[in-house]
Structure 1
Amino acid sequence: MDQSTPPTPPLDIPAGYRVADWTVTELIGSGSWGSVYAAGSAERDRPLALKFLRTDLLTPGQRASMDALTGQEVRFSREADHPNLVRTHAAVTLDDPDRPELNGVIVLVMDRAERSLQDLLADGEAGVPVPGAGHILSGIAAGLAHMHTQGWVHGDLKPANTLLASEGAVWLADFGLTAELDGTHAYIPPIGSLDHVPPEWWSQRTGVRGSVVRPTADIWAFGVLAHQVLTGGLHPFLGSTARARSLAAQTYAKGAAPLRLDDRLPEGWRDLITACLAPDHASRSPLGAQELSDRVRALHAGSRPPTRRRTQILVGAGLALAAALAGVAVVAWPEREQQASPRPRKSTVVTLPGAIPEDSDVPRELRPVINEAAKRCTDKEVTPALLAAMVKAESGFDPKAARPATGEYGIAMWTPSVFNAWAVDGDRDGDKDYMSPPDAISSMAVFTCWLDQRFKQSGLRENLPALIAAGYRTSDKAVIEAGGVPASTRGHVDTVLSNLAAYTR
């Protein structure tokens, strides 16, 4: 799975190196499969990219799979011509006596984009739609509809596989897992992006032909991707790692947790994303890719302000959002000063389930921090009251608390190494610091959410707040092996439960 495959070092391809009729100019980037270089050709005016796929690290069986996937990618590109699908022109296998380390390397010759959607998300602001969000989603949906109409499933739809080119072009890319439908489904190797595979992917068996994939897998992936595009990169299922987010998606699909989309999503987009993220194949299947494309196009068209009023001040949250969604519909990939203004945050006070009582001893400056942190979890047990109860038991709300003997520090008593594995940026200052209360408490929420889901998956469902408190103080493994709260943590857990009772009266 690409989420767990470490990046390989880039191949050392110098400028001027020739691959058939194409000449390398510069490195664009590297990933787990290889490197991408910009290239030129005397016969083509359009900029090209050469994707070098390393084969020296593969077993013979993996190499055979690589050959099959690249051949399929070229064949698909030739057959499924569409303005929203990147064009792969050729696949070349290198044979270079002067560079034996390159022998056998496969090079895909492709149209060159300016950046990927993943790059755009990385440069954006959490909670704010990326520039041109509606335009981008329209292009993705149109490309997906064409693929499905032609009898193909993409199989690996995600921001990194969406390319943004000049003049506003939006291309779906990376067709290595794209498969031709055989009736209602197709078969692909059992790999994929954990953040974008549907919940049923985890429970199906892999046969001799591979794993079953249906068009509804692409619909699910589009729902996740659309949520990310419209919220500046926020995943609809919370967790600090792809595996934790996939576990949250599985918990939702089993009916153990509700679907909680970001509250800043416009209503029309919220309804469409909810339909895309229906919990299983059967409930997702009524929404075909063509209908999806039509609805996305209609939502995008409705988001555009009249051209003659484009420079006027737009009043109201709905119009401000429309400007944010349409900011790049006319001008492709503007500079920073051309980007639409962020949508104002809602000022409505929302009372969360398990809210902290007004007359409690929780410091007032920490209450909004704890409330925001609790929103990171879809599970009903992880409430502001539970987080406040745990923080009080851990540190007494002291941001400078420390237990040097056990290496625990800060308001949530994180061990630095464990914090790094679960850290999220609670105050959105671009840093993650276990001594920062917003970062520490937000990371606590993510970890407790994962513990909650872990215990449910293991069959432990009685008194989950107690199990969560015990797991936070020890580990999920200790709780599961004990079949409940370990004896060593009972005193601490009793303190948390006492605090929780005081905050939920």
Structure 2
Amino acid sequence: MGTPGAAGRHRIDRLLGSGGFASVWLGHDAELDSPVAVKILADHWALREDVRERFVREARLLRQVDSHLLVQVFDIGELDDGRPYFVMTYADRGNLEERLAAGPPPLNEALRLAVEITEGVRALHERGIVHRDLKPSNVLIRSVPGGGERIMLSDLGIARTEDHLSSLTLPAGSPGYMAPEQTRIDGAPDRRSDVYGLGALTYHLLTGEPPGERPAPPSRARPEVPPPVDEAVLRALEPDRDRRWPSAAAFGAALGRVTSKVDTDPLAGARLLRRSRRRPPGRRALTLAASAAAAVGIAGGGAFLVLDRQGGADGAAEGTAARMADPRGRLLRTDAGIPPRYRALIIQAGTWCELDGLSPALIAAMLRAESGFDPHLRDPARDEYGIARWTPSILVHWQPGGLDHPEPRPEEITPGLSIPAMGRYLCFWGKDLRDVPGDPALNLAGMYRTSAKTVRKEGGVPERYRAYAETVRRYIEAYKPR
């Protein structure tokens, strides 16, 4: 895809991020003398009417809500080559994931941000929209006159209006922040799924980490957290949605009763937050930065490479994403021949969930065994394509956004679609292998070639795939950190 010179009256300056379905560019509105973000549908999807409609639908939903707490859409149109685009608010301060990589902000700032995010979700719900993918990278930050900041929710690529929530849904969302019902086929997520996402975001803001399956009260990690905040957050994180807060408004009201007694002056909080960025990230923060580098949610559920603030394209973007993902090679060796442009995606897939055997080294080893890292692999006899040898009718269920995006054609199966899908697939079915004997990583690899049912029945890797599993084992040893 070439660099567009302009989108309507908006000059295009540089690429901000690019993924499987769309790219986002920094633009400039000369008439208003203002920077803007321009989201453009990827060229290989532009001829698909169903994809174009979903792309335009996101812009319409954002416009309908028309809240300063969401990214605002100013214009929509088509480039000269026919690709649709829409113009939206530019977040000049990045996103919350980048902020949290340096650790949790001060308590007053954490609570202020949590309340603002909750108000943004409330605005969505009042228009009958369920976001379904609340996570730090989808919370953008914009400066405001006077030195303050405000948040803006972004990425309605897998959002649904409530009149469509009863239709078939497949697993969709982001690990660590999605409600249990979002991990199940036809889990029918509703507003309470967003309440869980709000609870997870608030937990991360308070403690520096997303919640696990059985989260402890935030005050255990941070003693100054008031007991009412503990209670509000843990109720939002209830696995049983009937026991959660019934709405974002109810959760926000519970937080509001506490924050009214805490200094949440935005300028004071911003000053403290800027000082907090100087702290070096810990091991857990490094892992979270890996996920941020691989999946910035600004382009409709696709996996993204993140560029540095000065831009740069293609190779420069890939190098930056790889450095952000794992700068010291703690998750995946940097000297073992893994293509740098895939490292961020591999780390994202290998840390998609906490599962015995799953690791970035396993994902890299499987990609090497499946295709030799060839993104253009074609095997029509087996109906398998791309770097991870996906069959299109299977990939459609596991690609970012699931069935909210159409089944890709073979030539549309990019690494940005297929590598994250491996993490989703292994996490969803891998839990069925917990009591299967043998090496958990090799059992997952065998499952990828067959099915969880077959691996369970055989009591491990089926005999006909043991040579494949041995190849994966050798590559794991080559790729895992020393």
TM-score, structure 2 as length reference: 0.55
Instruction: Give, as a single letter, the amino acid of the residue that structure 2 aligns with 1:281.
Output: R
Closer/same/farther in 2, CA of residues 116 and 12 from structure 1, 3 Å limit: farther
Alignment equivalent of 1:277, drawn from 237, 241, 251: 237
CA contact (8 A) 1:187 1:213 kept: no
| 2:62 is the counterpart of 1:82 | no
Hey, what does 1:110 align to over in structure 2? 88
- Please state how far the C-alpha of 1:137 moved relative to its aligned partner: 1.4
* Residue in structure 2 matched with residue 35 of structure 1 by the alignment: 23
Cα 1:340/1:301, change in 2 over 3 Å = farther
Asked whether the 8 Å contact 1:70–1:91 carries over to 2, the reply is no
Once the two structures are superposed, the pairs formed by residues 398-477 of structure 1 within 5 Å of their partners are 431-432=330-331, 448=356, 457-458=431-432, 471=439, 475=443
Match of 1:294 among 237, 253, 262: 253
Structure 1: gaps (5+ residues): 1-10, 96-102, 206-210, 238-248, 250-257, 305-325, 343-368, 373-423, 435-442, 462-466, 487-505
Q: What is aligned with 1:229?
A: 205
Say whether residues 1:194 and 2:174 are aligned partners: yes
Deviation at 1:166, TM superposition (A): 0.6
The answer on whether the counterparts of 1:186 and 1:214 sit within 8 Å (CA) in structure 2 is: no
Q: Per the alignment, in what secondary structure is the counterpart of residue 44 of structure 1?
A: coil
Count residues with an aligned counterpart.
317
> 2:131 matched to 1:151?
no
Question: Once the 2 structures are TM-superposed, how far is the Cα of residue 448 of structure 1 from its aligned partner?
Answer: 4.5
How many Å separate the matches in 1 of 2:26 and 2:169? 29
Counterpart of 2:154? Answer: 173
d(CA) in 2 for partners of 1:276 and 1:259?
Answer: 11
d(CA) in 2 for partners of 1:173 and 1:227?
A: 20
Tell me, in whole angstroms, the C-alpha distance in 1 between the residues paired with 2:32 and 2:429.
58
Q: Which aligned pairs between 1:375-390 and structure 2 lie closer than 5 A?
A: none
* Cα distance in structure 1, aligned partners of 2:174 and 2:135: 10
Deviation string for 1:465-497 (max 9, x for gaps)? Answer: xx78x546975669845659x9xxxxxxxxxxx
- 1-structure distance, mates of 2:168, 2:12: 32
Pairwise CA RMSD: 4.3
CA distance in 2 between counterparts of 1:188 and 1:134 reads 36
Is the CA contact (8 Å cut-off) linking 2:170 and 2:185 kept in structure 1?
Answer: no
Distance 1:45 1:330, change over 3 A: same
Describe the shift of the 1:337–1:288 C-alpha distance in structure 2 as closer, same or farther (beyond 3 A): closer
Larger radius of gyration: 1
- 1:264 equivalent to 2:221? Answer yes
Distance 1:189 1:455 in 2: 17
In structure 2, C-alpha distance between the alignment counterparts of 1:155 and 1:85, rounded to whole Å: 15
Q: 1:460 to 1:446 in 2, by over 3 A?
A: closer
Task: State the Cα distance separating 1:38 from its structure 2 match.
Answer: 1.5
Q: Say if 2:171 and 2:182, in contact at 8 Å, map to a contact too.
A: no
Paired position in structure 2 for 1:68: 53
* Distance change >3 Å, CA 449–CA 295, structure 1 → 2: farther
| Residue 266 of structure 2 is aligned to residue 329 of structure 1 | yes
CA displacement 1:400-452 (0-9 Å, x = unmatched): xxxxxxxxxxxxxxxxxxxxxxxx99xx9994589xxxxxxxx9x9654979x
Q: Verify the 8 A CA contact 1:163 1:172 in the aligned structure 2.
A: yes
Q: Which has the higher contact order (CA 8 A, sep 6+)?
A: 2
What 5-or-longer segments of structure 2 have no aligned partner?
285-324, 334-350, 360-426, 448-454, 463-482
Change (3 A) 1:192 1:334: farther
CA contact (8 A) 1:177 1:188 kept: no
Structure-1 separation of matches of 2:106 and 2:20: 28
Q: 1:272 to 1:65 in 2, by over 3 A?
A: farther
Q: What residue identity is the alignment partner of 1:48?
A: V
User: Structure 2: how far apart are the matches of 1:268 and 1:280?
Assistant: 20
Determine what percentage of the aligned residue pairs are the same residue: 22
Letter in 2 for 1:117: L
**Counterpart for residue 311 of structure 1:** none
- 1:174-213 CA-partner distances (Å, limit 9, x unpaired): 2233332229x465874633313322223333xxxxx843
For 1:171, give the aligned amino acid.
M
